[in-house]
Amino acid sequence: MTIAAYLGRIGLPHLLGAPATADNLRVLHAAHVEKVAYEALEIWLDRPTSVDPAESAARILRGRGGYCFHLNGAFHALLTGLGYDVTRHVGGVQSRGDEPNVGANHLVLTARGLPSPENPGGEWLVDVGLGDALHEPLPLVAGAYRQGPFTYGLRPSEVAPGGWRLEHDPSGSFLGMDFGPEAAEMSAFDKQHHHLTTSPESGFVRVCSVARRDGSGVDQLRGLTLSRIGASRAGSSRTGAGADELTLDTARDYFAALADVFCLPLDDVGQEEKDRLWRRLHSAHESWLAGRAT
């Protein structure tokens, strides 16, 4: 991975050689979630991926994104290359109907040695791989934190001794996330990555999901349903606050939304692959509509 190229990808070439500070970490984190989409399109394109950070970074440099193992894995490599003290941790996202866990379905980062007026201890929760969650890092201090339309809670974990629990906003896509204090290697996520990308029970396999966070909210694309939570972005035709939904009825509208809303022009995907992807998405949408009708 070329650090300069990665910084260029997220619009921050001037931070090459800049000191590792809390303020610069915030800038890097916000730019990453705004420029690099949370997406699982490779699954629906039948393109196998690994959790190797170098592979993930190369895909990001091609204009694509990924989900937590890819995004946080690559971001860890970027921050380390910039001189930050960053650690990977095994985490577990709790979906609605599930129990809190640290089942390795999520990769979490923490950074230390970055004191600031609001966080003298200098430890931070860093996570660019939660889709509709963090826009900036959170002080690793128990409390409530507001970012855009979402309020998050941080407290000691009840299922990971010595670890932490992030409570998502009630309007978010999941309930919370726990992670343990121990450092983790990327190999700790191989089994869950295989499950999440291949199992019929995986949410990524059942629904093609894309998200992109910004300072005032999040855009989400689940199947063919495009929605916005939070205040409208500049230039968006969708206005107001709250969830605003739109069904993308044509391939032209779908791929235009990927490019315009999610910064995913899919320059690395040929027309034949796009046609096949659209047929799969449209078929899944029709099946979903039929199931809802019955």
Per-residue pLDDT of the chain (294 residues; tens, 9 = 90+): 699 999 999 999 999 999 999 999 999 999 999 999 999 999 999 999 999 999 999 999 999 999 999 999 999 999 999 999 999 999 999 998 899 999 999 999 999 999 999 999 999 999 999 999 999 999 999 999 999 999 999 999 999 999 999 999 999 999 999 999 999 999 999 999 999 999 999 999 999 999 999 999 999 999 999 999 998 755 444 433 445 789 999 999 999 999 999 999 999 999 999 999 999 999 999 998 888 887
Angle, CA of 188, 129 and 131, to the nearest 5°: 135
Does residue 218 lie in a domain region? yes
pLDDT tens for 70-113 read: 999 999 999 999 999 999 999 999 998 899 999 999 999 999 99
Does residue 9 lie in a domain region? no
Distances (CA, A) of 228 to 202, 221, 240, 251, 258: 24, 9, 10, 20, 14
Does residue 269 lie in a domain region? yes
Does residue 66 lie in a domain region? no
Instruction: Residue 229: give its domain's CATH number.
Output: 3.30.2140.10
The count of domains in the chain is 1
Range of the domain at 220: 199-293
Gap between the Cα atoms of 29 and 92, Å rounded: 21
pLDDT of residue 294: 75
Amino acid at residue number 55: E
Q: DSSP H helical segments within 21-145, as ranges?
A: 22-35, 41-44, 53-61, 68-81
pLDDT tens for 1-15 read: 699 999 999 999 999
Rg (CA), the chain: 18
Does residue 42 lie in a domain region? no
Does residue 267 lie in a domain region? yes
Select from 155, 104, 108 the least CA-distant residue to 128: 108
pLDDT of residue 233: 55
Does residue 38 lie in a domain region? no
Does residue 30 lie in a domain region? no
